[in-house]
Amino acid sequence: MKQLLPFRKIMLLIFGCLTLSVALAQKPLNIATTAVPFLRIAPDARSGGMGDAGIATLPDAGSGFWNMGKVVFNEESAGASVSYIPWLKKISNDVYFVSAGGFYKPDEIQAISIGVRYFSLGNIQFTSDGHDNLGSSNPREMGIDVGYSRKLSDKVGLGIAARYIHSGLVNNMVSAGYDYQNGAAVAADIGLYYDNRSEADGFTFGAVLSNLGTKIAYIKDAAEKDFIPANMGIGVSWNKVINEVHTVSIGIDVNKLLVAVPEGDSPDAVSRYRKKGVAESWGNSFTDFPGQASISTGLEYWYNQFFAVRAGYYTEAKNRGDRRYITTGIGLRYNMMGFNFSYLVPTGNGINQNPLSNTLRFSLLFHFNNAY
């Protein structure tokens, strides 16, 4: 099957999370690949500074992107957030990720929320395998969420979200006998949050199932379609108020991609893999557990609830992508506004450097404390 050459660049831009050292060392990779992997990018600077941990951390205006169950635990009655991430700056200067979201609590036990993710891959010149010029385009992907969360008790919250996914990678081109199309899918999230703190001290727990939805196709009338990145995650956070000035939190997330791994790289094996049903893929994904699990660990320190310092570490198995990186970040909060910034510390040298090195994230948050 012939493919458009730009797909290689597109996949590199999206999957820039893979370290070049793995590829150069030719270690055996057995990775479950999916369409629309932008849905797994940490969308905000707070979690981005904590090693991508966010399932069980204390809630804020961006909680809906991580765990719908904790949205209702926000102390304020409404909030909003917007984030901007220049993506893979070492490879291209026009690729970026933007997210925006908000919530509203009509009372103390329920909340509604919305969220948008937008990923632009910049301007790309399309060519065929025969090097024919097919024109240029600006591929982009987007996800739109609507969610609802409710307290089941003073300590337990449950939330659900519906998501529409649009993937405009090829913009209805025709090449090599294939009629390409933009992809679309629908998915759902479900999140559970348990706040076991007493006097603001103690543990919070979270569990999420995200991107549970349909497959996506980029060729019209295709029998073989691509999976979206369904995921299962659990998290725990320890929170301590040292005194009126100093507070600290430590969070750990474990995530497992609910997508099966191909049985080989032969055309028949790939074809069988892509013909699998969604539920079958979810079940098959556990055959190599915990092989596809990733671990995020983060630390957050607040001074007088005004200034925050964050650090984190992310890791996954060597034969599942071998992403390993350290993150740092800061936060400011004043009245109804907040600002967060994170930085992904460079690792490796030269051609072995992590493509995500020096990634920056910027977030603005707004909280409105109206009476119910």
Cβ 277 vs Cβ 284: under 8 Å:
no
pTM (2 d.p.) = 0.88
What stretch of H or E contains 274? Answer: helix 267-274
Closest CA to 121 of 16, 231, 257: 16
- d(C-alpha 291, C-alpha 17), whole Å: 17
What would the mean pLDDT of 132-143 be, rounded to a whole number?
Answer: 84
- d(C-alpha 352, C-alpha 97), whole Å: 24
The pLDDT confidence band at residue 275, using thresholds 50, 70 and 90, is: confident
Give burial (CB, 10 Å; 0-12/13-18/19+) of 109. Answer: middle
Q: Measured between alpha carbons, how far is residue 370 from residues 77, 79, 118, 255 in Å?
A: 6, 10, 30, 35
Strands (E), the chain: 78-86, 96-107, 110-120, 124-127, 133-137, 140-151, 156-168, 174-175, 178-179, 183-195, 202-213, 231-241, 246-257, 293-303, 307-316, 324-334, 337-344, 360-368
- d(C-alpha 282, C-alpha 227), whole Å: 10
- d(C-alpha 107, C-alpha 235), whole Å: 27
What would the mean pLDDT of 258-263 be, rounded to a whole number?
Answer: 82
The pLDDT confidence band at residue 177, using thresholds 50, 70 and 90, is: low
Contacting residues for 114 by C-beta, under 8 A, at least 6 apart: 64, 101, 102, 103, 144, 145, 146, 147
| Residue 25, pLDDT score | 39
- d(C-alpha 316, C-alpha 319), whole Å: 9
| Residue 67, pLDDT score | 98
Name the percent of the chain lying above pLDDT 90: 60
| Residue 290, pLDDT score | 58
Contacting residues for 116 by C-beta, under 8 A, at least 6 apart: 99, 100, 101, 142, 143, 144, 145
| Residue 20, pLDDT score | 37
What digits encode the pLDDT tens for the residues 82-136? 999 999 887 888 999 999 999 999 999 999 999 999 999 988 877 766 677 767 7
Instruction: For domain 6-368, give the CATH number.
Output: 2.40.160.40
The mean pLDDT value of the chain amounts to 86
- d(C-alpha 227, C-alpha 245), whole Å: 47
The pLDDT confidence band at residue 282, using thresholds 50, 70 and 90, is: confident
| Residue 54, pLDDT score | 97
Name the percent of the chain lying above pLDDT 70: 84
How do the domains of the chain map onto residue ranges?
Answer: 6-368
Residue 109 has what DSSP assignment? T
What would the mean pLDDT of 224-236 be, rounded to a whole number?
Answer: 93
What would the mean pLDDT of 59-85 be, rounded to a whole number?
Answer: 97
| Residue 242, pLDDT score | 95
| Residue 314, pLDDT score | 96
Closest CA to 185 of 166, 170, 168, 172: 166
Please give the residue that has the higher pLDDT: either 176 or 339: 339
What digits encode the pLDDT tens for the residues 19-63? 333 333 344 445 677 899 999 999 999 999 999 999 999 999 999
| Residue 212, pLDDT score | 97
Q: How far is residue 58 CA from its own chain's centroid? A: 18
- pLDDT over threshold 60, residue 7: no
Phi then psi for residue 216, to 5 deg, are -130, 145
Least confident of 129-133, 219-223, 283-287: 129-133
- d(C-alpha 368, C-alpha 314), whole Å: 33
- d(C-alpha 213, C-alpha 18), whole Å: 25
Tell me the range of 92-96, 135-139, 335-339, 347-351 where mean pLDDT is highest. Answer: 335-339
Please give the residue that has the higher pLDDT: either 227 or 261: 227
| Residue 13, pLDDT score | 46
